[in-house]
Amino acid sequence: MNPGDAAAAADPAAASDRPAAALLFSRFGWVALLVALDLWSKAAVFAWLRPLESAGELPRHACALMGHQRYPVLGDWFGFMLSTNPGAAFGKLGDMPYLLVGGRILAALFLGWLILRASPKKPWVAAAFVLILGGALGNLYDNLLLDLPHDGHPFGPVRDFIDVYFGFADWHFPTFNVADSCISVGATILVVSGLFGQPKKPAPAPAGG
């Protein structure tokens, strides 16, 4: 018997908190599926819209401040446009590429470890880690493996294409992709589960007569 089995035999409750191999396979399978969805969507939209953009056949966005060529999907508020982002969310850290990409790599490794350790009793927390890791790997692919013009940066930019504009407030949300959506949803789940998912304390046992 190895030390891990001995510890599990001594503490059955701790053993029940360990995800089984099948559950881990499912979790990382979802990570792979999210990465594939992100990469497919970016490749498909860029291949579709790039010839139209080059030919000037895409309508201009209604927001005068932006003026990008944009394919409307749902009215004026939701559309697709081609954008490459050398930074993080909202274009931050674009001037510190090694910090940005190095941080993404470390975060991906840490998230993988968290997925390995996440208890089956907290499925929403595990799902959040899966979403965030899938998003991080999707963007890392663009940084490390995609051959796009770097414009002086040592890493490739991230492809974005989902464009949202709130006309009633004259507010243009920064263009994003499926990976960014996964990261945002996963982070929201973590916050909500932290605020409302605390276990209830057991009621005190009645005093003996």
Catalogue the active-site residues. 160, 180
Instruction: Give the C-alpha separation, 83 to 50, whole Å.
Output: 11
- Residue ranges in 19-175 assigned as alpha helix (H): 21-54, 97-117, 123-145
Determine phi and psi for 159, rounding to 5 degrees: -80, 130
Residue 13 burial by Cβ neighbours in a 10 Å radius (0-12, 13-18, 19+): exposed
Instruction: Give the C-alpha separation, 70 to 80, whole Å.
Output: 6
- Residue ranges in 82-156 assigned as alpha helix (H): 97-117, 123-145
Token pair for 13: 């409750």
Instruction: Give the C-alpha separation, 186 to 176, whole Å.
Output: 15
User: How does strand 71-74 pair with strand 78-85?
Assistant: antiparallel
